[in-house]
Chains A and B, each alone.
Chain A
Amino acid sequence: MLVPLLLFKYGDFFIRNIDQVFPGMLSPLGLVLPIGVSFYTFQILSYVIDVYRREVEVEKNPFYFLMYVSFFPQLIAGPIVRFQTIQKEIRNRKVTLELFASGITRFVTGLGKKILIANLLAEFGQQLSLAGTRSVLSLWAGALAFTFQIYFDFSGYSDMAIGLGRMFGFQFLENFDYPYLSQSITEFWRRWHMSLGSWFRDYVYIPMGGSRVSSWKMIRNLWVVWLLTGFWHGASWNFVVWGFFYFILLQMERIGLSKILDKAGSAVRIVYTFFFVNLGFVLFNADSLTEALSNIGGMFGGQALKLWDPLTLYYVKSYALVFLLAIIASTPYPKRLWERIRNRTSGFILDTVAALGVFMVLFLSTAQLVDGSFNPFLYFRF
């Protein structure tokens, strides 16, 4: 079951590394990565394991099973949906007007997050890269832009999948829970790409003994989970190091850092978490480990870089509101504010405002797509 994933996604990675040791022994295969292969492989695996554990019944209708594996809303970029989540809905689901409308709202919200925030931040990163300037400011600005871009890209995609699911009468589980407000790395991974985290927990970590084993075995279990988490994201050493980076941070929190952090205020804990998540995404975003380390070094004043440069400052100012929008939209406050207003007001005007808001986001997202072909889907590579 894992063969297609290993062959298409990791084949060339292993071949290149073998080639480093035994030059000329193997040639890269150059295979095109099937879209969404990491997602549907994990879905099929979860089904097989759950059937083996007798947690779900065997699906005897092959069309229903194929529908589960190839259901288009989440096929390409997740979330990883388990069979038990939608088993009943595959056979018997209800599509109501309210559910359909709520699916539209969720879909358009995701579209807006992807097109109007993630893509603009990607554009910002591209401007910095095209400018070719390198300063402490440009590295920090680039890192922050990517950190928000990847969140809005991926959570936007998950929103679209959840919204489309609702339109067809399916209720997918949430995949993100405002992760940038996490107060520890442990909490961050409970709120970021939740379907992947729970998959590794249930199908790798717990079967290996989880935390109910000796300390050393538990460390081994966690190391395996984070090695696989890193590797799942890409066939490159910087993803492996990215996984190791989180393994170290989580161990530090486990052995005492959490207790120290607990004494600090929540703002300090949020800043601490965001700081390391941001550094993690520098590793994640680099084309190579060398580039990642060079960028991290530069962010802290290494390589005798200038503190700032005029071109980066210009772009930072020009995209300031996009950043502000990203910061606000990555918190639950806009949603809470809307709910408060809705609880106090009701009726025609509010419904009209809500419908107009959805229409505006749809219109602007369409305009942004029509305006240019700058539309990188980060999670296509998984």
Chain B
Amino acid sequence: MKYRAYSLILVFVLALMLVPLVSFVKADESISLSEKRPLVEYMDYESYRTSHPGAGLSEYFQFLEDYFLDQFPARDAFRKYLVLFRIGALAQFDHHGYYELDGHLGKLDPVLNEKALAHALSILEGVARENLGNEGKPLFALIPDKNVFLLKNSQYPSYAYDALLGQIDEALGEGMDVLSLLPHLSIDDYYRTDPHWDQKYLMDVANLLLEQFGFFETLAIQDFELQSFDDYWGTYAGQMAWPVAPDTLNWLSNDTIDKMVVWDLVTGEKSPVYETDKLLSVDPYDLFLGGAKALLRIENTEQHNGRQLIVFRDSFGSSLIPLLAPYYEEVLVIDLRYIAMTSVLERVSFESDADVLFLFSSSVANSPGVFKK
């Protein structure tokens, strides 16, 4: 009994002392590399009030609670063991909506948000009708989420992809050609630990889209130099905290792509198509066109056919656009999640005969309130 009492007290007191001691000694971390998000860092009450006008003591205490949780010693290890407990011991199917199936990590998106989708589609329809030329129909290409492949005939809930596609077709079909990329993709074309597709496997998709715009030369993997970055843990790996082997991040380059210049029309900065310094950043996928950017112009000095491609896209577009860009003199890349159309029109002008591609993943299309008007 005494031994038990001693050991219990020892463990309890050690735990009580160690956590504040380690927290005090270790410097605050600014970013969680696994979750790919900034962490809350300490600020005193006066600084907090200065940076949060109108906030009082109760908001500050909430801030402190967030701070202590974010800076908790060995936070990632705790998260990993918790997910092992919940999925391994409690036999739960997912953790915060993230699941592991057939070696892939995914995130549940079980309900088709019909109203949100209708709202998003009305924004896109308005953008096309009011701002784009009449020469040729824009193309809407829908990228299936990993769930579409993984969850078929599984115990996990998911909405019907066909229903989503049907609603898009109904809303946009009159003014756009609506195309599903589902028949041209498989689960192997996606990273295991990330929601995105692997550029290495996008030849079929790129060829299909180029054909729609009248380019019938077939792209082949041999036209590119394959480059890779090992130890790529995608977004889902960190967010789920499930122990998995890393992916290999691939990108395809050639002289034409390497010579292209990408202009950020919001900041005025210039960069290459593949920003390799981003491989060491929080999200290595930002390698492609620098990650989340509102408005980009890709200048292709090797091409002089006067053709312009306008792509309204989400993050999936970042890795596909470099494969389409060599066929155009200029590519405008617009992410309506980060910029409103009025701001776009202040910075760029559209050619009346431009090819227009709306390229969105089903997960973004089904997310409420993603697009700015």
A residues whose Cβ falls under 8 Å from a Cβ of B: 32, 97-98, 100-101, 104-105, 108, 120, 131-132, 310-311, 314, 317-322, 325, 348, 351-352, 354-355, 358-359, 362-364, 366-373
Contacts and interface: CB of A to CB of B under 8 A. Distances in A.
Contacts of B241: 371
B275 interface: no
Given A101-B5, A359-B11, A318 B81 contact: no
Interface stretch (B64-72, B126-134, B226-234, B244-252): B64-72
Interface string B83-111: 00100001111101000000000000011
Contacts of B348: none
Given A97-B5, A314-B156, A370 B78 contact: yes
Given A131-B111, A320-B91, A373 B66 contact: yes
A100 B5 contact: yes
Contacts of B7: 351-352, 355
B255 to A, nearest CB: 48
Contacts of B8: 101, 104-105, 354-355, 358
A367 B6 contact: no
A271 to B, nearest CB: 26
A311 B11 contact: no
A317 B93 contact: yes
A101 B15 contact: no
Contact of A322 (B15, B75, B90, B157): B90
A34 B113 CA distance: 40
Given A97-B2, A322-B92, A368-B82, 6 more contacts: A32-B58, A314-B157, A354-B8, A358-B12, A367-B82, A371-B241
A132 B92 CA distance: 21
A351 B110 contact: no
B24 interface: no
Nearest to B58: A32
Contacts of B12: 104, 108, 358, 362
A101 B1 CA distance: 10
A98 B9 CA distance: 9
Given A318-B93, A319-B92, A369-B69, A98 B157 contact: no
B157 A371 contact: no
Nearest to A311: B157
Interface in B1-24: 1-9, 11-12, 15
Nearest to A364: B85
A132 B157 CA distance: 14
B357 to A, nearest CB: 33
Contact of B91 (A108, A321, A364, A372): A321
Given A351-B4, A355-B11, A364-B82, A370 B157 contact: no
A310 B157 contact: yes
A317 B155 CA distance: 10
Q: Which of B3, B6, B8, B85 has the most CB of A within 10 A?
A: B8
B85 A318 contact: no
Contacts of B82: 364, 367-368, 370-371
Indicate the member of A108, A355, A362, A368 with the most B CB atoms within 10 Å: A355
A142 B6 CA distance: 42
A322 B92 CA distance: 9
